[in-house]
Amino acid sequence: MPPVAIFTSGLVLLGLFVAYFGADTDARKRLYGTVLTILLAVFCVYTVIPPKETIKLGIDLKGGSSFQVGIKPKEGETLVSESAREQARTILRKRLDPDGKNDLLITPQGDNSLEIQMPGVKEEDRADVRTKIEQVANLELRIVHQNSASLIPQIEAGTHVEPGFVIREYRKSDDPDARSGKELVSSVPDMTGKSISSAHAALYPKGWVILLDFDSKGGKAFGELTTANTGRQMAILMDGEVLSAPNINEPILGGSCEISGSFTRESATALASALENPLENALVIEGERSVDATMGADTIKQGVYAGIAGLLATLVFMVVYYRLAGLIAVFGLFLNVLMIFSAMALFGFTLTMPGIAGVLLTIGIAIDANVLIYERLREEMQAGKSVGAAIETSYEKAFSAIFDANATTLITAVILFTVASGLVKGFALTLTLGVLSSMFAALLVTRVCFNWGIKSGAIKKLSMCHLISSKNFDFLGKRKVCAIASLAAIILSMGYLGIKGNKALGVDFVGGHLTTLQTLPGKDVETAKIESAIKGLEFTDVDGNAKTIREVVVQSQDSATNADESYITIRTDFGSGEAVEKKLHEVFGTDSFKLSVDKVGPSVGKALLYKSAMALVLGMLGIMIYLTVRFEFSFALGAIVALTHDLVIAGGLVALCGYEISLVLVGAFLTIAGYSINDTIVVFDRIRESLRTKRGNVRDIMNEAINATLSRTLLTSGVTLITLVTLFYFGGTSLKAFAFTIIAGILVGTYSSIFVASPIVYWWARKRKKSLRREILEADQGSANVTV
């Protein structure tokens, strides 16, 4: 879709959205909401139906291209240091995936190589990728000799020597208007690009240019250079080639510089990224291959079928339990998912397994919003209100809980997207889209449907099932027993994870062995057969301990340069190479392939791990600040303690059940964090509302509030678990760990929102000897004089 059409469509939809909330009558709200819903649905369908923009699948789901990249030692060195490998890895991720839209795997291989796997790289894209990889981005500024044009022919003919100057050629370009030829420039750079603080591409009337900003030291040096050489040409060189040689008309003292050179949008963006992220070591591409999905075609197919079956079961449950209201919720949920995939297709984002985890969390959040509204609706109808009045009141009362739960989730998602990189960014993206779309669908779309039903007379009464009738459990009375149980579970989990150490981590985090099979002509070696033969294989690791291969990544790879070459790569734990080699020869014989074994580093680098951990910590800090402002610090403390409790115990359960923490499980743990916060905030919102409106003992009121949300808590958890349990049993072995992790997290999270988060709030308020009710009322009204 052309950018102008996207922009125009966005303005129209935004205008209708504003008009809906600004409407002063129900008739206008129905009209604006209906038109907005229809136009949005048409727009979303248009963007996701081929041959228009389609959703790109990640390397784990579809495969892509693999580049074997060698790292050259620096001049005067013979080895490539670990820091140099990590620097190259970090820079390549920034160059190849600057927006976090693509799924990218960069794995150290041997002592001086990297394997880069990129999804959806077509043949016509390979040249651009090669340029981004191999470009060192060594920027130099050199003053041009005043008689450059006349001296170059003499120097090349050998009739003249000009000390202190050398000849440099212009970079070759396909643009017929691009400058060509040579320049005579100073032999030593007058300034380098080491002082560049930022670089970005910009479109000027004369074409695409690159704008550079220097740091304070570089800005001063650049000002002195241009002041001393006003009136002369200054050549801008990249990796020894002249990009342009503008004239210095006046001193440039602002610490900025502009590079022109017949750029396209793509080349300007790529060069700006390279300048901002220069490589210390030169890279050379040693091989290119097309690769299959890391999860395997059978696993993906099983996962898709299981996911669809689980989702359908969820939707059926909603319709059976809530009947007509459930049918309306299903419509809103369908539009919600459609909006997520439409946005991903429209902006070219890549869908990966962690991204699917974000979609699953979004579905859970969307269902939770509907359950919140409908449980409120039941209460209002039981209070004797008419259907129309009950619907209006239920949306108004549920709004606060829905807003706060989604706001805290959105804070985490935005921080993850801003600070983290790689797969964590993909999860954050889908979660951000999902939160926004779920709020729109739950609060606007379903409400418009109800309004039309009431107006037309189609909805005269609503009936729905009721899970829990008796609501008088003393949850806070069990706080000491639950505190002891939770502390014991946390200590056991942390202790077990500490004992296992790196053994709890998969190949993605600690590295392992890469076994490469080059299949011989006429021989068929099935990847599924390889995986079944190797998984569960026993071997002795590097420390002499007996171990079992639980996670294995098998990929088919075809050479991009030689159609007759076909490879299969197998990533397994450190120390397993010899056992894998022996097993493969045992199963397939010795005449089916040529085999080599090499060590590989972790797919998740130190920089990525650090950024992801930092993003999660900042996300928790953001949640704490938000909850302190919106609720009070007692609630913020309870939410963070519950979140930490859920992540630690879920991690312990995963390790205890023999699963290794891999890249895919990172998405699962992030899903747990999002679910935990969402579930806890809903309970807190009802507690806050009850303390505002009811008198009596705080403990009794908190118990009553928890009881009031119990049906919603169990319903949301149960409905979300339907899809995950289906995925666990029918989604294939590779998806079991993923589904199990989220199942464990949801069960622990459901427990903590009732038995951990709320007791922490109660305990902290009593410890400070302050009235929790008074604090809430003072926050709402500015002052109050209430006695507990």
Quick: pLDDT tens for 457-483: 888 888 888 766 656 788 888 889 999
| Rg over CA atoms, the chain | 31
Q: Is 161 exposed, middle or buried (0-12, 13-18, 19+ CB in 10 A)?
A: exposed
Q: Pick 543 or 177 by higher pLDDT.
A: 543
Report, in this order, helix, strand and coil percent for the chain, each rounded to 5: 60, 15, 25
Average pLDDT over residues 165-182: 79
Q: Which amino acid is at 509?
A: F
Contact (CB, 8 A) for 646 and 672? yes
Chain centre distance of CA 728: 23
The counts of H helices and E strands in the chain are 24, 21
Q: What DSSP element (H or E) covers 336?
A: helix 324-346
Residue 323 corresponds to which amino acid?
R
CB 649 within 8 A of CB 745: no
Flag whether pLDDT at 237 surpasses 50: yes
Vertex 586: Cα angle to 581 and 590 (nearest 5): 75
Give yes or no for a contact between 306 and 730, defined as CB atoms under 8 angstroms apart: yes
When comparing pLDDT for 785 and 554, which is higher?
Answer: 554
The four Cα atoms 90, 92, 96, 97 give a dihedral, to 10 degrees, of 0
Query: Between the CA of residue 67 and those of 274, 296, 417, 546, 778, what are the distances in Å?
Result: 18, 20, 26, 34, 61
Query: Is pLDDT at 127 greater than 80 in this prediction?
Result: no
* 53 within 8 A of 1, measured Cβ to Cβ: yes
pLDDT at residue 782 above 50? no
Average pLDDT value over all residues in the chain: 80
pLDDT band at 184 (very low <50, low <70, confident <90, very high): very high
The least confident of 167-176, 259-268, 711-720 is: 259-268
What is the C-alpha separation between 544 and 749, in angstroms, rounded? Answer: 38
DSSP 72-92: PPPTT-SS--HHHHHHHHHHH
Burial letters 172-210, b for 16+ CB under 10 A, else e: ebeeeeebeebbbbbeebbbebebbeebebeeeeeebbb
Question: What pLDDT, on the 0 to 100 scale, is given for residue 783?
Answer: 35
CA dihedral 733, 734, 740, 741 (to 10 degrees): 160
